Every structure is written in C-alpha cells, then in structure tokens.
Amino acid sequence: MAMGYNSCTAACVGFVVLLVFNQSYLGNAADQGQGLGASFIFGDSLVDAGNNNYLPTLSKANMVPNGIDFKASGGKPTGRFTNGRTIGDIVGEELGQPNYALPYLSPNATGKALLVGVNYASGGAGILNATGRIFINRVGMDIQVDFFNQTRRQIDKVLGPSQAKEYIMKRSIFSITVGANDFLNNYLLPVLSIGTRISQSPDAFIDDMISHFRVQLTRLYQLDARKFVIASIGPIGCIPYQKTINQLNPDQCVELPNKLALQYNGRLKGLLAELNENLPGSTFVYANVYDLVMDVITNYEKYGFTTASVACCGNGGQYAGIIPCGPQSSLCNDRLMHLFWDPYHPSDAANLILAKKLLDGDTKIIYPMSLRQLRDHGLG
C-alpha cells in the first residue's frame, strides 16, 4: 500500500529501542547451514524501521500511538508507520531470524549485528531522487544502495572477504518495497509535480522510474546481492487518504493512482524478467502486492476486518484520512479489526496476512517462488 504526507510517507522508520542481540547466534551466523542469514530491507514507510528518527524530516512516526502493539518495544513508538510490525519484520520472524534488521542510521547497526541484516528504508523515499522532497529530508533509493555499499565493506571486516561474499550471495535476501511515493509524493502531488506532469506523460515518467530502478538493482547485484524480492506498487487509490480527499464511498477507489500503479507494475515484471536473464546467478522474485492487497480490501470481512476504508488512527473526513497518526489523533478501540492503521499504511493485523501470503503463497502472488523457497534456494 502506500503513503503520502507527513508521518504518512511510504517508509517505516525507527528503532529507538536498544535491541539486545544474541551474540552466540551472531558469532555463528555465517557458519549455520540453514535458515535465513541476513535480511537487507530497502524502500519506503511501508517497511521502514526507524531511519527517519535520525533525520530532520517531516516524515516521522516516532510518536504515540504508533507502535502501540509492537511487543519488542513494550508498545513504545519506534519510527515504524504502523501500530505493530512491518511486513519486513514479520517475514524475518517467520524465516527464523532472532532479531529484526536494525535501521542503518541506528548507532547499534555495526559489527556482528550486521549479520542479521540492515534496514535502509526511509519514509517518503522513492526510486527517483526528487520524490518526497515535500518532507524536506528522506533517504531515496540511490542513497540506500550507497549505504549498503558501506555495510558490504563492514561485513568483509567481520567475516573476511571470502566468507562475506558467500554469506551475501547465498544466505541473504534483499527485499525492496518502493515506488508508491514516486506517484503519491511526486507525479500526482499538485504543488510540486505540476512541472513534471506538464513535461512528462505517464509513460515517460514510468520509463524514468524503470531505468533508474534497473541501475539501482544492478548496483546491488554488483555488490554480491543474488536473492531479491521486489514488491509491486499496491492499490494506492484505495488508501483512506485518497478516499477521503476524493469523497468516495467505502467500496470505491480513486481510478488514476491505481491505473498508474498497474501500468508501472506491468513494466516492473518485464524488468525483473530481463534482470533474471541478464545477471548470472540472480533470482528476482516478483511480489504481486497489488492483487494481494486488493483482494483483502475487496473481501475484508472474510479476512476478519470490520472496515477497509477507515483509518484506525487519524483525523479528518469520513475515513479519518486527512491528518497522519499522532498524539492528537482519534484512535479506534478495535485495532485488530482495521485493515488500515493510519491514512496511508496497513495495520499489524493486515501486515501479518500479507506477509504470510508472500511467505507461502502460490505463483499468482509471489513469482517464481515463495519467500520461504527463496530463503532455501541455492543452498543445496
């Protein structure tokens, strides 16, 4: 799904809590033959775990009641743009990781802690560098890849170059959830994008996104990344913010953002097929987040939700979809019953449903293999 304003952005941010690492696990991490070694997470507020806490930015989630259901922090906000865990957190748990990947900007993200993985995601981030400038500061994809380059050198020092290369190539997964902000907080943003829209058609803008993303993914491959999962853009026209400002009925979505997302997703599938063919030894998995999320929205009652339109935490309009979640927001009593936590982001309950489908779903949702299969792929 997607984001779009202040603490909305598309990119979870923030481990303020000091994570206590199991040093015995970390010391042996590179020697273990099973399970996921490291999880390297890139993207926006959907998966950010606290990086924006360390930035002077308007896109922050390190205030109550964000994190109210996040057990690892005792219910305190961490910079995640949800009430609990991100999809990246849940996937890491399910694949056997002992701790969540630390935000890159956290002072604890150093030494052996890197062997569990690192989260580079940033609220407001996009594929294009201009995306998210309304928030003043964010870490876009180009810089996130630069940051991984620094991590890659540090892992060489921890494990030695030969073992580090093996660990990155065979025991690590690179997950990337990005692109929604390029539309919501760039192309479709009335104030800042008018020049872009006059000069670029949707086709040209998406061409630009794909060409930049190709370079970013290829750079990660050149740094020894081999196992990738790339999320499509979700139905961004269905988030409470979009429904509220467009005064839609609960079962309606805004057509243009969804049309742009589908157009981009079609091109993304082609890009990943191209990279699978041209980059030897790589596996690029396509996560069909659009159809997955749309199914949950359409059939929300079947999934145990009472609403797929109203934000649990927010203010403004029929769907509490104008003002991002913060201390002054109205807060629902039944957080398990809301698909959306705030005007832009899914709740912990929704993230759990989505993560489990990606972990073990069929090829309509996750292609050509599930995340659990990707973890074990190439390990013999």
Whether 45 is a known active-site residue: answer yes
Closest CA to 274 of 203, 202, 213, 361: 213
Q: C-alpha dihedral over 230, 79, 87, 166, to 10 degrees?
A: 60
- Tell me which of 59, 193, 329, 345 is the catalytic residue: 345
CA 214/CA 235 separation, integer angstroms: 23
Catalytic residue among 48, 89, 342, 348: 342
Amino acid found at 76: K
7, 39, 45, 59: the active-site residue: 45
| 173: enclosing H helix or E strand | strand 172-177
Side chain identity at 164, as an amino acid letter?
Answer: A
Contact 293, 354 (CB under 8 A): yes
CA–CA separation, 217 vs 273, rounded Å?
A: 13
**Residue 347 is among the residues annotated as catalytic for this protein:** no
Q: Give yes or no: 251 in active site.
A: no
The CB density around residue 191, as the number of other CB atoms within 10 Å, is 6
Q: Can you state the angle between helices 141-159 and 161-171, rounded to 10 degrees?
A: 130
Long-range contacts of 204-208 (CB under 8 A, 24+ apart): 206/260, 206/263, 206/264, 206/267, 207/267, 208/128
Cis peptide before 368 (omega within 30 of 0): yes
**Is the peptide bond between 65 and the residue preceding it cis, with omega within 30 degrees of 0?**
yes
- Residues tagged active-site: 45, 342, 345
